[in-house]
Amino acid sequence: MSITTPDSFLVAATGNLKNTSKQPNSITRYYEQNKVHDFAWFASPDFLIKEDTLQLASHTVKLNAFYYPKNEKIWAHSIAMMKDAVRTKSKWLGEYPYDAVTVVDKKGMNDGGMEYPTITLVSTPGTEKELDFVINHEIGHNWFYGILASNERLHPWMDEGINTYYDKRYMAEKYGSAPMAYSETSSAFLNKRLPGDFMELGMHTIIDLKKDQPIETPASKFSVMNYGLMAYTKAGNWLKTIEQKLGKDVFDKSMQAYYENWKFKHPSPADFKNSLEQSSGRNLDASFALLQQKGELELQARQKKKIKFSSFFNLKETDKYNYINILPAVGYNYYDGLMLGAMLHNYSFPFPKFKFFIAPLFGTGSKVLDGIGRAGYTFLPGTKGAKFEIALAGEKFTGDNFIDSTDKKNNQSFSKLVPTLRYEFAKINPRSSISRVIQWKTFLINETGLRFDRDTLTGGDIISYPTHRRYVNELKLMIENYRVLYPYQAALTLNQGKGFVRMDFTGNYFFNYARGGGLQVRLFAGKFLYTGNKTFLTQYETSPYHLTLSGPKGDEDYTYSNYFIGRNEFEKLYSQQIMNRDGAFKVRTDLLSNKIGKTDNWLTAINFSTSIPNKINPLSILPIKIPLKIFADAGTYAEAWDKNNKDGKLLYDAGLQLSLCNDVLNIYAPLLYSKVYDDYFKSTLGKKRFVKNISFSIDIQKISIHRLFPQIDF
């Protein structure tokens, strides 16, 4: 293989450098290597190089480390790490047959490495110990991926799993610690709480959820999670059980015979089994049968865990302890002010069947005790990962206040209890990115109202704060495909309460652009029905449940499921908060007694939100990336089709959208809108209409690990 590069570049490649020839401004290097099935090369003008040799029994091996100047300190002992890796594998398996080993520093994120014959690319981690682990792992592939050369697409465990066994053995003998040192940090606080091996913890978690796959699964059929946890971790543990069954001496001799007899011959699992059985004289049918099975390798009686208190969180020895964690909790809303308190929870890995959290909070403004909490029990029916949960959630906060004639602030609180039944269907196949859920909730809500009566003796007002009780039943069917390209989600919701039934469908589809960003399309259709006679009283009583084109405000969040800073404010900044429900328009007509686009019949809408290419994004010149978007909404509703309606059948708005904190906070500036909205703004808002017309939403429900890392199947 000949490689020609500019003369300022240094080159690392598979095999032995035989000679070079120079041309004006370039250099051609000639490489040669026998008995390899792949080839790789890397070039950079910035490489620093370390070189040395290692003497094996039959030949000398040249060692090369190529790395970048910024990583010089952590690569200081890279050659020694390479020697240890080659020496131990040659001892445990058989002598390394090639004359060169090269390791190359990788730019970009810390995501491990990639192996090729005689050369490997590794990312630079945070510590020397982690670098040692990665170098050892990637060099180890030479024996399994390179020399034995099993079919790693059909049987990934024959490369990754066997290599993982030797990773663990190497790290245990050299450091006396778990192989995955990534949980080790310079923080004593974290080291007391993080597991010694995240991969082991993840493996037990996914097995506990019944979402694991057999070790003997082709790479093309593994889920992202299972590929790492089964083909690497569980397979490495499986080979450890064979070592324990045979004894280390017999096991080592058997592995050495397997390597010697099958190098450069592409062995299959059957060849591996026959080789071990012939060398050890033992029947391994039961051991190899485990490759086809789900679940733990060894069924052990679950020991009763001890309850242990911890601060914040704890993932240490979760096989021994049920942790109850306590941590500070804070919150804020306009009426309670800054809320201070604590949270107790038992969330951990593997997930406990019974999970809870409770967070009592003291409002420094309202001077009352508030809080939020949830407890649930999970059942795992069947063997394919279906999940059924029974839960009870609750919360209490101040939703408004009233200052009476004596300047006393009277809190108007709300509280709710929400019993829940939730069933998550098993996936069609482990690689599927589709989630299907059916859920039932009953919202039992108490609200402190405000009532004025006339004192017939004094002629003054009698103010009281009665408690109103109501309920809302909710049945919801949800489907979501969280694939990277063109993800979508859809929900069909049925709400029922006193005097009404409300049905709606919401669908979201994201069209990816080739150069990043994309177009979000949302469809909504809803229908409202009275279960009794429609009267002025029932219209008034069910008003919060009616459909609306504009994004509902806090007083229309009838299940108190969204976070509002000032839930019942009608002026200044907090009054400009909306939620993305119903028609999800960004314009508001708060000061009208009958809001534009509000109906107790039917409503449908479509919403668009598109990212703006950097070339035309005026904010792209800033040093930090600020995602500016364009939104547009269009919709109609029953009353728009009345023959006496003069406001148009189709209403619309459009403008600029600023999305922050991974779309949790969105700020909307409407620029174009239907005439009926324009007339309202001019007649009602007065000066500074543009500023007053800006809306914002806070979607706390978007804060989730699953949304950030959809490949995590927990």
DSSP string computed for 153-203: TT-GGGTHHHHHHHHHHHHHHHHSS-S-GGG--S-HHHHTTS-S-HHHHHH
State the Rg of the chain over Cα: 32
Among 98-112, 477-491, 665-679, the minimum mean pLDDT is found in 98-112
- Whole-number Å distance between alpha carbons of 669 and 570: 18
- Whole-number Å distance between alpha carbons of 40 and 119: 7
What strands, in cross-sheet order, belong to the sheet with 113-116? 48-55, 60-67, 100-106, 119-123, 113-116
0.85 cut: is pTM over it? yes
Name the band, by pLDDT with cuts 50, 70 and 90, for residue 256: very high
Residue among 695, 597, 590, 586 at smallest CA distance from 633: 586
- Whole-number Å distance between alpha carbons of 51 and 117: 18
Q: What is the distance of C-alpha 354 from the center of its chain?
A: 22
Name the band, by pLDDT with cuts 50, 70 and 90, for residue 190: confident
Q: Which run of H or E residues covers position 135?
A: helix 128-141
The reported pLDDT for the residue numbered 181 is 46
The reported pLDDT for the residue numbered 403 is 84
- What percentage of the chain exceeds 90 in pLDDT? 77
Count of C-beta atoms within a 10 Å radius of residue 594: 8
686, pLDDT greater than 80: no
Whether 151-296 and 1-148 are alike in CATH topology: the answer is no
Among 80-94, 328-342, 581-595, the minimum mean pLDDT is found in 581-595
The reported pLDDT for the residue numbered 105 is 95
Q: Is 709 helix (H, G, I), strand (E, B) or coil?
A: coil
The answer to whether 371 and 395 have CB atoms below 8 angstroms apart is: yes
Residue among 283, 268, 258 at smallest CA distance from 158: 268
Name the band, by pLDDT with cuts 50, 70 and 90, for residue 557: very high
- Arithmetic mean of pLDDT, 591-610: 94
Residue reference for tokens 């491990």: 112
201, pLDDT greater than 60: yes
Mean pLDDT, the chain, as a whole number?
92
**Assigned fold of 151-296:** Neutral Protease; domain 2 (1.10.390)
- Using CA atoms, how far residue 481 sits from 213, 433, 485, 489, 651, in Å, is 21, 5, 10, 6, 31
Residues with Cβ within 8 Å of residue 134, at least 6 apart in sequence = 112, 113, 122, 123, 125
617, pLDDT greater than 70: yes
- Whole-number Å distance between alpha carbons of 592 and 681: 11
Instruction: Convert 251-294 into a string of H (helix), E (strand) and C (coil).
Output: HHHHHHHHHHHHCCCCCCHHHHHHHHHHHHCCCCHHHHHHHHCC
Residue among 37, 17, 160 at smallest CA distance from 100: 17
Among 308-322, 616-630, 682-696, name the most confident range: 308-322
Residue 682 φ then ψ, to 5°? -70, -35
211, pLDDT greater than 90: yes
Residue spans per domain, the chain = 1-148, 151-296, 301-481, 485-714
Q: Which run of H or E residues covers position 244?
A: helix 235-246
**Domain boundaries 1-148, corresponding CATH code:** 3.30.2010.30
